[in-house]
Structure 1
Amino acid sequence: MSDSSNTFDIDLASGIAAFESKQFSRAVGLLGPLAERGVIDAQYRMAIMAQNGLGMLPNPLLAYSYMKSAAKAGFGLAQHGLAFMYMEGECTDKNPTKAVEWFKRAAEQGLIGSLTTLAMLYEQGRGVTQDLDEAKRLYKLAGFDEVSSSG
């Protein structure tokens, strides 16, 4: 193993540890350069910090850019995060159709939160045609036995 890839691994591990322990300024310093080089784990965490102004000033454009890069690379949590951005109109324009598309991708990777949100969107007809059967199927997949409906 070369020294540069060893440093890379150490910076990534240290950056993730800093992020997890809420040392956001340190995390930004370590993960920023890695995110620029296309490291998905670093991009996802940089997106979270840029979105919420953790260890840096809030930067919606950077947050969206990194979240989308990590999502396109197939990172489930980033797919969920990007879907949420589209659903809420946070860091980008509100786009319920794109939100559903990205929640589906994350749900395919087994993210329970994405399955649940998708079920809710089908139940409410947000970004998709209302489909209570599909909502029920998704809730079941997410581990909910019986969903009580009012009425």
Structure 2
Amino acid sequence: MSHDPSGLDMDLSSGIAAFESKQFSRATGLLSPLAEQGNVEAQYRMAIMAQNGLGMLPNPLLAYSYMKSAATAGLGLAQHGLAFMYMQGECTDKNPAKAIEWFKKAAEQGLVGSLTTLALMYEEGHGVEKDQEEANRLYRLAGFDER
């Protein structure tokens, strides 16, 4: 990378700040080049914006591709986001088994939302064999008391 790293950090933090304050077209302008260079934080936020048409037209293909890149690189939030895409059939084909796989990865990073969704999927036998014990174990990990 021949770029000035402090400049990139600056763009990233400005882009994230713009995203957080819902200035989506500004966020897109700042984060898009960083996402293309493989920055996972930028990719995750670009995926959200592309998925929901924030600061750009909805772009399911771009949303899926950035979400998958960031998830594969190990970003927990992106793993959760990708799992949801598979679960809902949003931006990609519905695939409950892949949803389970990615929720597990996010859950391993301690994401409570992923643990809870996973528990529910085991409880309902959605994309996985129904397993109440596993559901209970996951609920406990997520901080819920015995159900």
Instruction: Say yes or no: TM over 0.5.
Output: yes
1:135 counterpart letter in structure 2 = A
Unpaired runs of at least 5, structure 2: none
Q: Which runs of 5+ in 1 are unaligned?
A: none
Q: Partners in 2 of 1:143 and 1:94 — Cα distance?
A: 29
Residue 5 of structure 2 aligns to which amino acid in structure 1?
S
Q: Tell me: CA distance 1:3–1:123, structure 2 relative to 1, closer, same or farther (3 Å).
A: closer
Tell me the equivalent position of 1:100: 100
Q: Counterpart of 2:86?
A: 86
Matching residue of 2:127: 127
User: What's the counterpart of residue 20 of structure 1?
Assistant: 20
What TM-score do you get using the length of structure 1 for normalisation? 0.95
Tell me the equivalent position of 2:141: 141
Q: Please give the root-mean-square deviation of Cα atoms over the aligned residues, in Å.
A: 1.0
Tell me what 2:38 maps to: 38
Q: Which residue of 2 aligns with 1:9?
A: 9
| Distance change >3 Å, CA 113–CA 9, structure 1 → 2 | same
Identity %: 78
Structure 1 position 3, deviation (Å)? 7.0
| 2:29 matches 1:29 | yes
Helix, strand or coil: the match of 2:4?
helix
Give CA deviations for 1:38-94 in whole Å, capped at 9, x if unaligned: 000000000000000000000000000000000000000000000000000000000
Q: Counterpart of 1:104 in structure 2: which amino acid?
A: K
Separation in 2, partners of 1:3, 1:95: 39
Deviations 1:114-138 (A, max 9, x none): 0000000000001100000000110
Q: Whose Rg is larger? A: 1
When normalised by structure 2's length, the TM-score is 0.98
Q: Letter of the aligned partner of 1:46 in structure 2?
A: M
Q: Which amino acid letter does the alignment assign opposite residue 8 of structure 1?
A: L
What is the count of residue pairs matched by the alignment? 146
**1:146 deviation in Å?**
2.2
